[in-house]
Amino acid sequence: MNVAPKEILDLNRFDATRTDGFPPELAERVARRQSSFGASSVLFYEQPIEMVRASGAYMYDVNGRRYLDVYNNVPSVGHCHPRVVEAIARQVGQLNIHTRYLNRVVEDYAEKLLATFPSPLGNLVMTCTGSESNDLAMRIARIGTGGEGFIVTEAAYHGNTALVTEISPSSLRRREPALFVEVIPAPTAHDDMSVEDSFAASVEQAIAKLRARGLALAGMIVDTIFSSDGIYADPPGFLKTAVDIVHRAGGLFIADEVQPGFGRSGGGLWGFRRHGITPDIVTMGKPMGNGFPMGGVVTRPDLLKMFCEETGYFNTFGGNPVAAAAGRAVLEVIEEEGLIEASRSVGTGFRQALEALRMAHPQIGEVRGAGLFIGLDFIDPEQVAPDSALTTHVINEMKQNGILIGAAGKFGATLKIRPPLCFSSDDAAVFVATLDTILEAR
Ligand SMILES: Cc1ncc(COP(=O)(O)O)c(C=O)c1O
């Protein structure tokens, strides 16, 4: 059966042409939104929700209805965590400037963050978003290697700048990525090969194809938990051979930690740690400030020096003291509340319960993941094909039952289970019971 791929922003997207039966107030709110934001406006759900506040793993809508958040990884240590809120408020009342003055809050944060990386990753550039981080990483890789070409996975999303959109196949609606990009499948075992071997073979082929077009390799960039591809975490270590191949071909390995970073995978602070590899460049974003906009690039001093000899880099808001205060509070909360261990233990129990649910429902395909990042495939058991219609149904039904969840994967048929790290085993039990009821009723 042929199933059409889906663009990442289309997953669980509200369709503005279908407002029949909306309460008048909601219809009016949606119309106002559309009229200001036009074609770029993307809202979630068949009936969008107006949110007003949040705390921990819960969000509250305009009517005071509570939702369990199993979707949002930005407020990673918990929505509106008081420690982070207090750190931001204190610093914004004291000083907020760019990085061209010495400031202890900024320098302390850089040292604290860099201490979490293996040698030789010794320098940090602070940005405001994951997109800016990946854009800079690509430019560093090109200057550092003299190569042009990049390898990415087929449903990857790495951000929204002109350059980064080219390495985000899941964003391209009407065309293939640019010629400097080679796209490889998500890491799965096939043709009698292990995940590690088949991924490595794809990388070899991609390098050969770039060479055939006269392009040297600048690097391979992957999200180390392959979020938009559908969450592929296992077996730990499968990236190693591919990374060795990239290095032998003269390229760099860029680990995009925008999704798995800051403890989500439960195997340390960084997703790449599970693979026993040391990237040349690491990019960060979303959970870094728990909602305060901040991103970063960590790399080797020699690479950054080569880049800075070619071109300057200044980011007005990147690395401002308020961002640094937020970032520092996030690192402290992760440590003090044991959130990496919590991610591992709550995530393991959650995955086991979802596995048990799979036994009862043939519409559930694979359950994959690490820590509190789990992917659950929905399939049409008769056609043995991805079932994005069921995924959309489940997402909307979960919302009706007070649970927020999203989708991922090339076909939009993978439930993307990615709650804040303060999510508890009780929350997981509520999720599993609700999913069970929805599938039972289908
Ligand atoms: C893996 C990955 N990298 C980069 C980005 C871009 O981050 P931002 O939206 O902060 O620019 C995203 C955003 O979803 C992402 O998922």
Tens digit of each residue's pLDDT, the chain (442 residues):
567 777 666 778 888 888 889 999 999 999 999 999 998 888 999 899 999 999 999 999 999 999 999 999 999 999 999 999 999 999 999 999 999 999 999 999 999 999 999 999 999 999 999 999 999 999 999 999 999 999 999 999 999 999 999 999 999 988 889 999 999 999 998 889 999 999 999 999 999 999 999 999 999 999 999 999 999 999 999 999 999 999 999 999 999 999 999 999 999 999 999 999 999 999 999 999 999 999 999 999 999 999 999 998 999 999 999 999 999 999 999 999 999 999 999 999 999 999 999 999 999 999 999 999 999 999 998 888 999 999 999 999 999 999 999 999 999 999 999 999 999 999 999 999 999 999 999 8
> Do you know the residue count of the chain?
442
Residues 11 and 386: their CA atoms lie apart, in Å, by 14
Judged by phi (left if over 0) then psi (alpha if -120 to 50, else beta), residue 135 lies in alpha
> For tokens 């929905």, what's the residue?
378
Residues 121 and 408: their CA atoms lie apart, in Å, by 31
The pair phi, psi for residue 142, each rounded to 5°, is: -65, -45
Any ligand 1 atom below 6 A from CB of 134: yes
Q: What is the pLDDT of residue 235?
A: 97
Q: Topology of domain 82-336, per CATH?
A: Aspartate Aminotransferase; domain 2 (3.40.640)
Any ligand 1 atom below 6 A from CB of 391: no
Q: What is the pLDDT of residue 4?
A: 76
**Which residue type is seen at 367?**
V
Give the 3-state secondary structure of residue 225. Answer: coil
Task: Give the start-end residues of each E strand in 259-334.
Answer: 281-284, 295-299
CA 268 to chain centre: 16
- In sequence order, the 6+-apart residues with CB closer than 8 A to the CB of 93 are none
Q: What is the pLDDT of residue 264?
A: 98
Q: How much distance in Å is there from the Cα of 228 to the middle of ligand 1?
A: 10
- Whether the CB-CB separation of 221 and 134 falls below 8 Å is answered with yes
Tokens linked to 75: 């407020």
One fold for 8-77+339-441 and 82-336: no
Any ligand 1 atom below 6 A from CB of 135: no
Ligand 1 atom nearest the C-alpha of 156 is 1
Q: Exposed e or buried b for every residue in 213-232, given b needs 16+ CB within 10 A? A: eebbbbbbbbbbbbbbbbbb
**Exposed, middle or buried, 46 (CB in 10 Å: 0-12/13-18/19+)?**
middle
> For tokens 């029949």, what's the residue?
20
Q: How much distance in Å is there from the Cα of 127 to the middle of ligand 1?
A: 13
Q: Whose CA is nearest to atom 8 of ligand 1?
A: 130
The pair phi, psi for residue 86, each rounded to 5°, is: -65, -40
Q: How much distance in Å is there from the Cα of 138 to the middle of ligand 1?
A: 14
Q: Whose CA is nearest to atom 3 of ligand 1?
A: 158
Judged by phi (left if over 0) then psi (alpha if -120 to 50, else beta), residue 48 lies in beta
Q: What is the pLDDT of residue 384?
A: 84
Q: What is the pLDDT of residue 124?
A: 98
- Whether the CB-CB separation of 374 and 414 falls below 8 Å is answered with no
Q: What is the pLDDT of residue 291?
A: 96
CATH superfamily of 8-77+339-441: Aspartate Aminotransferase, domain 1 (3.90.1150.10)
Instruction: Spell out the domain ranges in the chain.
Output: 8-77+339-441, 82-336
Q: How much distance in Å is there from the Cα of 22 to the middle of ligand 1?
A: 32
**Which residue type is seen at 74?**
V
Q: What angle do CA 259, 296, 421 make, to 5 degrees?
A: 35
- Whether the CB-CB separation of 34 and 16 falls below 8 Å is answered with yes
Residues 116 and 123: their CA atoms lie apart, in Å, by 12
Ligand 1 atom nearest the C-alpha of 223 is 1
**Quick one: DSSP state of residue 175?**
S
Q: How much distance in Å is there from the Cα of 434 to the middle of ligand 1?
A: 29
> For tokens 């690479």, what's the residue?
303
Any ligand 1 atom below 6 A from CB of 283: no
Any ligand 1 atom below 6 A from CB of 157: yes
DSSP, residue by residue, 21-87: T--HHHHHHHHHHHHHHGGG---BSSS---EEEEEBTEEEETT--EEEESS--SSTT-BT-HHHHHH
Q: What is the pLDDT of residue 416?
A: 97
Any ligand 1 atom below 6 A from CB of 158: yes
- Whether the CB-CB separation of 224 and 274 falls below 8 Å is answered with yes
